[in-house]
Chains A and B, each alone.
Chain A
Amino acid sequence: MLDVHNLSAAYGQSEVLHNVDFSVAPGEIVAVVGRNGMGKSTLMKSLIGIIPPRSGEVKVDGTDVSTLASHARVARGLAYVPQGRQIFGTMTVRENIETGLVVTGKTLIPHEIFVLFPILKEFEKRRGGNLSGGQQQQLAIARALASDPKILLLDEPTEGIQPSIIKDIARVLRQIRDMTNMCIVVCEQVLSFVLDVADRILVMENGRIVHSAMREGVDEAAIARFLAV
């Protein structure tokens, strides 16, 4: 479903992402873990097209999208939940979700979104900026889901969120996968969350994927060592 070949990306002259290779199958949840500054966000941004790749390919269903603008990638089935959520603060909850709907040409928000996030239905007329952190995270995920994606990218969805809500987010991600057979790529530093959601774990260090393991029978201590500061 998602095939990344030899992907490199740079800020100006300094290359931050070096020849990254991985694939994700439909219905699979892959977690990319690594400490701060290892290149996780850069990977996500180059997948969605915020940073143009220096070289390499990003294939969705076999077609390369790496030269397309972000919105065109969204039209091909990618969706992005950024680090820090970046919801549109002055717009209502409903309007935030509708921005994701634009690319589909539909006018009605799919019922399933409110089933996954009932709180958003309750607060649909509030301004996004006035929600709590956890609610904003749900809103950012809902906005991404509204574009009816095949591939969902999430960048540190647990950042700054209380533990009880982190559990909810893990549950919702698995629920989405079970409902739609979507493939999900999530960047994380919180090991418990990763072990909770992922089918496969990739470790990123200094812009390279240095380790890969299936969730089943993973050596937790080894992954924890990669995350230790």
Chain B
Amino acid sequence: MFMGYSLGEIGSIFAMQAFAGLILFSVFVLMALGLAIIFGQMGVINMAHGEFMILGAYMTFLTSHLFQTYAPQAFAGYFFVAMLVAFVASGAIGLAVEWLLIKRLYKRPLDTLLATWGLSLIMQQAFRSIFGAREVGVQLPDWMMGSLQVTDTIEVQINGLFVMTLTLMITAVVALLLFRSRWGLQVRAVVANRVMADAAGIDTRRIDRLTFGLGCGIAGIAGSAFTMIGSTSPTAGQAYIVDTFLVVVFGGAQSLLGTIASAFTISQSQSTLEFFLTGSMAKVTTLLIVIGLLMLRPQGLFVLKVRK
């Protein structure tokens, strides 16, 4: 597959594809982060996670429109507002869904799978009715367009750099919350032993609700990042949910570092291979790599070791 390229060209291709993969990496990390904390804490697999992301994407689209129409002079900064709006919207709907639906199904894991799948269909239809079936794209402010010329043959896009920096910051904030805040303390106790956490005085149901809301909110931010690599449509989230599961399983559901490493591996192999092979062959190869590594380490990439 490397035929017809000089060594230098191959180097540049790898560098640029690796960079293109970084936006995908960002979307994966943000999606997986939410999915993993929800699954890790409640054992709920949120099949509608992709739709929460798309909700964030639509919110970004709406915000960009509002800025264009009513405050064009402030358009340069709209993306920051959009991320906040996406987070709040997806998070709020997440809280409501937990309250209306999920909390009634905690003792029935298969039912939560079905219920959240149903929810994903409802959300898709809602998007279709509200925003229309056509794909929408957002316009980027000028400063985010264009790319930096690193060498003669390598250039990197500014929006990619921006999204990646943001993702790393959000990940750091989540890590900080998990390991330094009262909420994080309670989450980790519930993950370790739900019954005992309750008996130690932790309101586990309240923590569940907060975690679900936060996970969905982060998916909303992933949606903001997503607007830069894909166009938003009612069903666009579907394509990401499977990949995100893969990231979570591969990383080891309880490890933040594992999630990041796993998102990195998967997005990079996907993006690099896509250049040389067709999209589906790239996917097959990625899957094979993941399956191979999982056979070597069934517990995922990273696991904490303590005495039982």
Q: Which of B200, B204, B308 contacts A143 (CB 8 A)?
A: B200
Which of B57-65, B124-132, B137-145, B188-196 forms contacts with chain A?
B188-196
The chain B residue with its CB closest to the CB of A100 is B200
Q: Are A91 and B188 in contact (CB under 8 A)?
A: yes
Scan B181-216; emit 1 where CB is below 8 A from any A CB, else 0.
Answer: 010011011001101111111111100000000000
CB distance from A121 to the nearest CB of B (A): 19
Chain A residues contacting B202 (CB-CB under 8 Å) are: 71, 99, 102-103
Which of A52-60, A82-90, A207-215 forms contacts with chain B?
A82-90
B150 contacts the other chain (CB 8 A): no
Contact of A130 with B201 at beta-carbon distance under 8 Å, contacts A82-B196, A102-B186 already known? no
B239 contacts the other chain (CB 8 A): no
Q: Are B199 and A99 in contact (CB under 8 A)?
A: no
Q: How far is the CA of A134 from the CA of B254 in the complex (A)?
A: 28
Q: Are B198 and A99 in contact (CB under 8 A)?
A: no
Q: Are A99 and B306 in contact (CB under 8 A)?
A: no
Chain B residues contacting A82 (CB-CB under 8 Å) are: 196, 199
Chain B residues contacting A70 (CB-CB under 8 Å) are: 195, 198-199, 201
Q: Are A99 and B197 in contact (CB under 8 A)?
A: yes
Which of B189, B304, B308 lies at the interface centre, i.e. has the most chain A CB atoms within 10 A of its CB?
B189
Q: Which of A74, A127, A128 contacts B199 (CB 8 A)?
A: A74
Q: Are B186 and A71 in contact (CB under 8 A)?
A: no
Q: How far is the CA of A67 from the CA of B274 in the complex (A)?
A: 58
Q: Are B199 and A50 in contact (CB under 8 A)?
A: yes
The dominant DSSP class at the A interface is helix
B134 contacts the other chain (CB 8 A): no
Q: Are B306 and A102 in contact (CB under 8 A)?
A: no
A129 contacts the other chain (CB 8 A): yes
Q: How far is the CA of A16 from the CA of B233 in the complex (A)?
A: 57
Chain A residues contacting B186 (CB-CB under 8 Å) are: 99, 102
Contact of A74 with B200 at beta-carbon distance under 8 Å, contacts A95-B188, A102-B182 already known? yes
Q: How far is the CA of A12 from the CA of B117 in the complex (A)?
A: 32
A25 contacts the other chain (CB 8 A): no
A49 contacts the other chain (CB 8 A): yes
Scan A60-73; emit 1 where CB is below 8 A from any B CB, else 0.
Answer: 00000000011110
The chain A residue with its CB closest to the CB of B206 is A71
The chain A residue with its CB closest to the CB of B179 is A95
CB distance from A74 to the nearest CB of B (A): 4
Near A by CB (< 8 A), chain B positions 216-250 give none
A147 contacts the other chain (CB 8 A): yes
Q: Are B199 and A80 in contact (CB under 8 A)?
A: yes
Chain A residues contacting B306 (CB-CB under 8 Å) are: 89-90, 127-130
Q: How far is the CA of A89 from the CA of B254 in the complex (A)?
A: 14
Contact of A147 with B200 at beta-carbon distance under 8 Å, contacts A91-B188, A99-B185 already known? yes
Chain B residues contacting A100 (CB-CB under 8 Å) are: 200-201
Chain B residues contacting A128 (CB-CB under 8 Å) are: 306
Scan A73-117; emit 1 where CB is below 8 A from any B CB, else 0.
Answer: 011000110100010111100010011101110010000000000
Q: Are A71 and B198 in contact (CB under 8 A)?
A: yes
Contact of A69 with B198 at beta-carbon distance under 8 Å, contacts A102-B185, A129-B307, A130-B306 already known? yes
CB distance from B34 to the nearest CB of A (A): 21
Q: Are A103 and B198 in contact (CB under 8 A)?
A: no
Q: List 28 A-B contacts (CB under 8 A).
A: A48-B199, A50-B195, A50-B198, A69-B203, A69-B205, A71-B200, A74-B199, A74-B201, A80-B200, A82-B199, A88-B189, A88-B193, A89-B307, A90-B192, A91-B189, A95-B185, A98-B185, A99-B186, A99-B200, A102-B185, A102-B186, A102-B201, A103-B201, A103-B202, A129-B307, A130-B307, A143-B200, A147-B201
Q: Which of A's residues lie within 8 Å of B, judged by CB?
A: 48-50, 69-72, 74-75, 79-80, 82, 86, 88-91, 95, 98-100, 102-104, 107, 127-130, 143-144, 147
Q: Closest 5 A-B residue pairs measured CB to CB?
A: A129-B306, A103-B201, A74-B201, A70-B198, A88-B192
